[in-house]
Structure formats: structure tokens, C-alpha cells
Amino acid sequence: MPDSTPRHVAVIMDGNGRWAAQRGLPRLAGHEAGSKSIERCVQACLDTGVEYLTLYAFSSENWKRPALEVNGLMLLLERFLNQKRDEMVREGIRLHHIGRADDLPPPCRRKLDEVLHATAGNSRLHLVLAISYSGRTEILDAIRSIACDVKSGVLDPGAIDATQVEARLGTAGMPDPDLLIRTSGEMRISNFLLWQLSYTEIHVTKKLWPDFQREDFLAALEDYASRSRRFGGV
């Protein structure tokens, strides 16, 4: 794999609702079409050697959406896991979850746990689903855990460093994203991977997520390859 291929790509999959509205369809039809874009991106990662793909599937804030949409998204997620389980096992894909699993409806949670377990031995592609995820909550949880260790005397305040924080994030052990793709033209981070995106290259496309094709993913990789990363140096 050339150096110019990102190891870790993160995606804010935005624009499903607008895609559906443009066609006079219910919002859920947009999410359903969006899950096809996920399949295309996963295949593109397998083909190009990207090792980690992190997808913002459902934010902690998304629970505020109408029940019909929330329930539909949870069912879609469960169906996606059901349909893709065997393929993930076969293709060497390891599923990970970041976010609050306890918030999920029990059938969805059970399916998620099952696929996490079934794919735990794989390492060709790490597919990280952010579900009921909030970057601020993830950092707050890490702070709370550090505070507990300091209080109980196992951690000296002077020893708190980036490594201590990173070990307590949902992404512990994973490299930070090299490339963040956001669809639908919005220029926001939206509470996604707030710690991990510090030095990530950002690629924004106006395409709505359900319209995002393999060529769009490859174009984002090409854009990334043209960047000069200095990590604050010169």
C-alpha cells in the first residue's frame, strides 16, 4: 500500500433526508439508499487497502428526531447487521462500535453484540460504527475515568497525558483518522471524534450521501494523497 493511502477514513454521512425530499420520498427511504453507499465504501476500502473505516451512523443528538425515523433507523441498522454478518466474517472485516450501546433497543443491541463477537478475530478492515455517539460525551467519560483513578491513587495527576486519554476513548488502540469525508456540503464536525480529528485532513463534497459512489470515495483518496501533512511542523 503506498504511503499516500490513508490508513483510517472517517465519514459523516450527511444528506439522506434531503435526498429523499428531492424525490418526494419519506426520510427513511434516504437512509435506506444511504446504506447502499456504505456497501460501496466498504468495498472500496477493501480494494484500496484502507484499514479503518469509521462511519457516523447515529449521533446522541439524533434521538431527538421523530420516533418514526429513529425506530426506522434502528431497524435498518439491525437489518444491515443481519444481512452483512456472514460477508463480514468471510471478507475479514472486524466490526467495532463506539458510542452508548446501552441506549439501543434490545434486539438491535443483541445483533450488534453478536456481530462484534463473530468478527472479533478479523483484521483486514476495521469497520467502526458510531451509534448513539457524541464526541464530547466520549471525552467526558475519559475524564471521569481518569478522575476515578486519580482519586483511588492508581494514577498521579502529573502522569495524565494524551496516551492516558486515548486509552479511555472508544477508539482506544486505533490510529487517528487520516481523512474525514463529509457529504452534502456542510462545513461542520458535528460532535464527531473531537479528540481524534486533531490533525485529520478534511474532504467535503456537495454530493448527498445516497449519491456517493465508489468514484467519489476514490476522488477523496486522491485529494488526500495531494495534501502535505505537517502535524504542526514546517
Which are the catalytic amino acids?
Answer: 14, 62
Dihedral over alpha carbons 24, 25, 27, 28 (to 10 degrees):
-170
Shortest separation between residue 86's beta carbon and ligand FPP, angstroms: 16
Q: Give the residue with the Cβ less far from ligand FPP, 15 or 170.
A: 15
Report in angstroms how near the CB of residue 222 gets to ligand FPP at its nearest: 23
Residue the block writes with cell 476495521: 126
Closest residue to ligand FPP, judged by C-beta, is: 17
| Range 25-34 contact pairs with CB under 8 angstroms and sequence separation of 24 or more | 27/69, 28/68, 28/69, 28/72, 28/73, 28/76, 30/208, 30/210, 31/69, 31/72, 31/73, 31/76, 32/76, 33/210, 34/209, 34/210
Distance separating alpha carbons of residues 16 and 183, to the nearest angstrom: 10
- Smallest gap from Cβ 173 to ligand FPP, in A, equals 22
Tell me the closest approach of the beta carbon of residue 45 to ligand FPP, in angstroms.
14
Of 26 and 150, nearer to ligand FPP (C-beta) is 26
Residues that bind ligand FPP (CB under 6 A): 13-18, 31, 34-35, 38, 57, 62, 73, 76-77, 80, 129, 209
Could you give the CA distance from residue 150 to residue 195 in angstroms, rounded to a whole number?
A: 21
Give 17 or 135: the residue with its C-beta nearer to ligand FPP.
17
> Roughly how many angstroms between the first and final C-alpha of the chain, as a whole number?
26
Name the DSSP class of 177.
P
CA atoms within 13 A on the CB side of 141: 16
Pick 129 or 179: Cβ nearer ligand FPP = 129
